[in-house]
Chains A and B, each alone.
Chain A
Amino acid sequence: MGKKGRLPRTQFRVAALSFVVTVLLFWQLKYPLRDGSAVLVWLTRLDPLLWLGRAAREGSFPSWSWLPLAVVLATLLAGRVFCGWLCPVGGMLAILEKAKLGFKRPAARVPLLEALRYPWLALLLALWLAGSGWPLLLTPYALLGHELARIWSGRVPYLLLVLLAVGIIFFPRFWCVYLCPSGLFFSLLGAVRLWRFTAGGACTGCGACAKVCPSLSREPCPGGSGSQCLVCGRCREACPVGAVSWAGPGGAPREEYGLRGSPQTRRQFLAAAGAAVLGLALGELLARPAAGEVLRPPGALPEEEFLAACARCGRCIKVCPTGALEPLPLAFGPAAFETPRLVPRKGRCELCLLCQEVCPTGAIARVPLEEVKIGTAELDRRRCLVWGEGVLCLLCAEQCPMGAIALDGLGRPVVLVERCVGCGACENGCPVEGAAIHVRRRAGEGAAARGRQRYGWPRHRYRGGER
């Protein structure tokens, strides 16, 4: 054992550390922002799905593309290294497995789901191509952030509960093997990997390796988990005759399950194609803008692009110093469900623009303050205390950070539409029950529309905008 046992131990430690660090960094997302937020951004860039999504939307590759590309390369060479070693959700599941918190290990995987893995991935990718950001929520960093934000704001972390429930009912890494879009993407890439754990001639077929495999090897040999292998090395550690080795190109037989040379391939391909069509159809439904008027964080892309780009990771909700952002309820339609909205009566936007800094997908674009346009304040003169009762209130004028509320000749407040950015300070403070002044989003007004109109930003950069 000795030296061989080191690999699984190290793998567990690295993965667990990744989880702990990610949680701590997420918890540190608050005003004033510390350096840790940049680390969190860089960690998130490890996920190639988020990177591809961004590159496709913006029509260009960001300067940090080398990082996700390095992860892709590692996967092509050695399989799901990210999932086994770096993924924070994987780290969390590894910790829970280690702690034996209710997890049990049934003998076999779930045959029905086995055939549905790639169709599921095809469905998610099609849905995403159709303009829904929903699949992004299932990627590890977004998922973990989303659940942490829910816990932080006292909401039920339902996805976390689902993830743990399937882990307890089936096996700990159920999520990673069947449901995680990033993980399935890595499996697809990893099918051609050059290095892998394989059993040599001394193998007696005892099945000791399959018993310890976290992704539940289907065969009593290390190749049994196929490209689902998380590169943990437990099979090598467990082999009583030392037949398992980490073998490079040419050194190992190529047995794969479910993808190459398997009778299932054609059926899987057809199923995947069918799922993709279904995904596109569903996408049309799920990419519809929110039902009803919604204020977005400062700098948010126009509504359709925003829905496609937002991963619902909850970082903006966590970082907002006034607690003005909340996840959109289901009543606003399934497409916009869980995306952030600004509720001025809950909190005003301080225009600190930290939401822009922490957004990992660019759904809240880094737009300078001069170009922010969340909406425009509209004053209800019938309800206003100054207009209606002649009371010297002027709280809106007092608190407006943009000087967008002027007084007319009789000292009554008037909104200067050009100056107003829609931060909601006026609506937040208005002493009238239910407020006499409201921020509204006018037709065609994005959270950053003002700047684009002024400077003529290239709209074609945002694919969603053309549709």
Chain B
Amino acid sequence: MDRREFLRLCGLGVLAALGLAGCRLPRPSGEKAAPQTPAPYTPPPMQAAPARGPDLAVVEGDNYEELLEKGLEAMGGIARFVQKGNLVVLKPNFSVPRAPEEACTTSPRLVAALVKKCLEAGAREVRVIDHPFFNGETCLEKTGMRRAVREAGGKVYVLDALNDRYYTRVEIGGQALREVHFSRDVLEADVFINMPILKHHVATKLTMGLKNMMGLVWDRGVFHARGLHRPIAELAAFKKPHLIVMDAVRGITSNGPTGPGPIREFRRLILGTDPVAVDAYGARLFGLDPAEIEHLRLAAGMGLGQMDLSKLHTVNVFL
């Protein structure tokens, strides 16, 4: 080993030591490093934001636009549910060809107001859908839904044909319901808002949010053949809306769901994120014990929501 070789080895040794030591050095703090290595961009969550607000908001009055304005405010604002660029799907009940005054269908004024709210909140598109059991054209026309939604800037149509555009075959895996053709719009939506009307129903006593979900299914004969209540509860477990806005301003109290029937003024708009709680409030408002509605009892038993209204954080607003 000559002198030159010794020096080179020493130099390598020093470099190696420095290198090893460098691995142990404390990492530079984030604040300092940020300008040099920016953190990867994560987009804001597309799904509805986690609950920030009450479970239930009940607004009393009869001006639909005002009811919705105050109701959404009480729930924490539309921004709690709809973010910029979202695809929003609304499911009102316009299953029967009756004029809005006949109180058998969700108010088109209310639906139009919510369409506007969603668009204002930055929604990319708002679709309003139903699978009426009457003819779709007559329903769209006579309920005034087509005109109202189009004027508000949304799209409105009926799921009146079994095709890939409207329906997707989904596993429900329940006792009564194994698989059904379910609305593709709802499955693809960023935000799904259920908009039932509170009214009488000859078979299930009342039709509200959970029953309204049947309007997203093509093959409903099996619901009837299996006794309605259990299939309804199992469907509710399959898909939970991000928000429920129930039109309980006016509704028929018998001859439901098709009507015409005697109309009662409930003068309420019920908003909530808990599908069982909203329906339970509706049942109380109608004058029934929520437990009398079997699909509600089944759904609560399946852990889909709270049927005991005293356990909920409710905001009441009176106009």
Cβ of B138 and Cβ of A350 under 8 Å apart?
yes
Tell me the B150-185 residues at the A interface (CB within 8 Å): none
* B227 pairs with A392, CB closer than 8 A: yes
Q: How many residues of A contact B (CB 8 A)?
A: 26
Take A397-B202, A399-B258 as given contacts and tell me if A350 and B135 are in contact as well, using a CB distance cutoff of 8 Å.
yes
Known pairs A350-B97, A398-B202; A393 contacts B137 (CB<8 A) = no
> What CA separation (Å) do A123 and B193 show in the bound complex?
66
Please give the distance in Å from B41's CB to the nearest CB on chain A: 50
**Interface contact A431-B134, CB-CB below 8 Å:** no
**Chain A's nearest CB lies how many Å from the CB of B202?**
5
Residues on B with C-beta less than 8 A from A403 are 255, 258, 260-261
A407 at the interface (CB under 8 A from B): yes
Are A321 and B203 closer than 8 Å at their CB atoms? no
Whether, in the assembled complex, B238 has its beta carbon less than 8 Å from a beta carbon of chain A, the answer is no
B138 touches A31 (CB 8 A): yes
Docked-complex contact A32 and B137, CB < 8 angstroms: yes
> Scoring B residues 115 to 152 as 1 if CB is less than 8 Å from chain A, else 0, what string do you get?
00000000000000000011101100100000000000
CB neighbours (8 Å) of B202 from chain A are: 394, 397-398, 407
**Interface set, chain A 317-344, CB cutoff 8 A to B:** 321-322
Q: Compute how far the CA of A460 lies from the CA of B259 in the bound complex, rounded to whole angstroms.
A: 38
| A398–B203 CB distance below 8 A | yes
A241 interface residue per 8 A CB criterion: no
A258 to nearest B CB, angstroms? 52
With both chains docked as a complex, state the minimum distance between the C-beta of B74 and any C-beta of chain A, in angstroms: 34
User: Is B84 interfacial (CB 8 A cutoff)?
Assistant: no
Q: Does A391 sit at the interface, judged by CB under 8 A?
A: yes
**CB closest residue in chain A, given B228:** A392
A-B contact count (CB 8 A): 71
Please tell me if the beta carbons of B141 and A31 are within 8 angstroms of each other in the complex. Answer: yes
Residues from 235 to 263 in B contacting A, C-beta threshold 8 Å: 255, 257-258, 260-261
User: CB < 8 Å: which of A321, A391, A393, A399 contacts B138?
Assistant: A321
| Also in contact, A392 and B203, with CB within 8 A (given A399-B133, A431-B222, A431-B225) | yes
Cα–Cα, bound, A397→B201 (Å)? 9
**Complex interface: chain A residues within 8 A of B268 (CB):** none
Q: 1/0 contact trace for A103-138 toward B, CB 8 Å? A: 000000000000000000000000000000000000
List B contacts of A32 (CB < 8 A).
137, 141
B258 near A391: Cβ-Cβ < 8 Å? no
List A contacts of B225 (CB < 8 A).
385, 391, 393, 431-432
Binary contact track B219-234/A, C-beta < 8 Å → 1, others 0: 0011011111100000
Residues of B within 8 A of A393 (CB): 203, 224-225, 227-228
- Inter-chain CA distance A322–B135, complex, in Å, is 6
Q: Give the residues in chain B near A407, CB-CB below 8 Å.
A: 202
Residues on A with C-beta less than 8 A from B204 are 392
Contacts known (A350-B134, A385-B225, A403-B255); A394 close to B203, Cβ less than 8 A: yes
Point out the residues of chain A lying under 8 angstroms from B260, CB to CB.
403
Q: What is the chain B residue whose CB lies nearest that of A352?
A: B138
A391 and B135 within 8 A (CB): no
Whether B224 lies near A321 (C-beta < 8 A) is: no
Report the separation of the CA atoms of residues A347 and B135 in the bound assembly, to the nearest whole angstrom.
9
What's the nearest-Cβ distance from chain A to residue B217, in Å?
Answer: 13
Known contacts A391-B227, A394-B224, A31 near B258 by CB under 8 Å: no
Contact between B227 and A429, CB atoms less than 8 A apart: no
C-alpha gap A393/B231 in the complex (Å): 12
Cα distance, A431 to B134, chains bound together (Å): 15
**How many Å lie between the Cα of A128 and that of B109 in the bound state?**
54
Taken together as a complex, chains A and B put the C-alpha atoms of A391 and B141 apart, in Å, by 34
Name the residue on B nearest A349 (C-beta): B135
A352 vs B98: C-alpha distance in the bound complex, in angstroms?
Answer: 12
A348 to B134, alpha carbons, bound, how many Å? 8
Complex CA distance for A407 and B200, rounded to whole angstroms:
14
Inter-chain contacts of B229 with A (CB < 8 A): 392
In angstroms, Cα B204 to Cα A407, docked, is: 13
Measured CA separation A394–B204 after assembly (Å): 9
A395 interfacial contact with B, CB 8 Å: yes
Instruction: Looking at the assembled complex, report how far the CB atom of A344 sits from the nearest CB atom of chain B, in whole angstroms.
Output: 13
For B137, list chain A residues within 8 Å (CB): 30-32, 321
Task: Please give me the residue from chain A that is nearest to B133 by CB atom.
Answer: A399
Residues of B within 8 A of A429 (CB): 133, 221
Report A428 CB to chain B, min CB distance, Å: 9
| Contacts of A367-419 to chain B: CB distance below 8 A | 385, 391-395, 397-401, 403, 407
CB of A144 to closest CB in B, whole Å: 25
Note all chain B residues with C-beta closer than 8 A to A350: 97, 134-135, 138
Q: How far is the CA of A98 from the CA of B133 in the complex (A)?
A: 49
In Å, the complex CA distance between A98 and B172 comes to: 62
- Cα distance A403–B255 in the bound complex, in angstroms: 6
9 extra A-B contacts, CB within 8 A, seeds A347-B135, A431-B224? A31-B137, A31-B141, A321-B137, A393-B227, A393-B228, A398-B133, A403-B255, A403-B258, A431-B221
Chain B residues at the A interface, C-beta cutoff of 8 Å? 96-97, 133-135, 137-138, 141, 201-204, 221-222, 224-229, 255, 257-258, 260-261
Q: Which residues of A approach B to under 8 Å, CB–CB?
A: 30-32, 321-322, 347-348, 350, 352, 385, 391-395, 397-401, 403, 407, 425, 429, 431-432
List of 9 A-B pairs having minimum Cβ-Cβ separation, nearest first: A431-B221, A394-B203, A393-B224, A395-B224, A392-B227, A397-B202, A431-B225, A321-B135, A322-B135
